[in-house]
């Protein structure tokens, strides 16, 4: 686990922390053999921020395997990148809010 969040993680965490969306998110959450950047356990929603390391060879395949593992266990994954968090954070937040609403609807 990283001791210090990336700039994008810090920005997104400032919007997710403290139940600001009406649900609790946790940061750097161990789930199975993986660590999710952010997770809302009650809605089984994971938010991943992809930085430059996700452009390295083999990383796409690793991320795909990881996402399949999460999905096979009932998790929904939202992936965004650093640039979107910095430049389009309202869109990122809207996507998260919509996902939470859809997951809440599915639970009834």
Query: For 7-42, what is each residue's pLDDT tens digit?
Result: 899 999 999 998 889 999 999 999 999 999 999 999
Which is higher by pLDDT, 56 or 7? Answer: 7
Could you tell me whether strands 45-50 and 34-40 are parallel, antiparallel, or unpaired per DSSP bridges?
Answer: antiparallel
The mean pLDDT of the chain is: 89
Query: Rounded CA gap, 17 and 2, in Å?
Result: 18
How many C-alpha atoms does 35 have within 13 Å on its Cβ side? 5
pLDDT of residue 4: 82
Residue 1 reports pLDDT greater than 90 = no
pTM of the complete model beyond 0.85: yes
Cβ-proximal residues to 9 (8 Å cutoff; 6+ apart), any chain: 27, 37, 49
């Amino acid at each position: 686990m990283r001791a210090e969040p990336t700039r994008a993680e810090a920005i997104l965490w400032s919007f997710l922390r403290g139940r600001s969306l009406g649900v609790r998110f946790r940061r750097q959450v161990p789930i199975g053999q993986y660590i999710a950047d952010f997770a809302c356990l009650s809605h089984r929603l994971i938010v991943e921020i992809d930085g430059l390391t996700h452009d390295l060879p083999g990383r796409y395949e690793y991320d795909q395997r990881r996402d399949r593992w999460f999905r096979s266990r009932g998790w929904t994954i939202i992936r965004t990148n650093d640039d979107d968090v910095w430049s389009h954070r309202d869109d990122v937040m809207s996507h998260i809010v919509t996902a939470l609403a859809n997951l809440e609807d599915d639970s009834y």
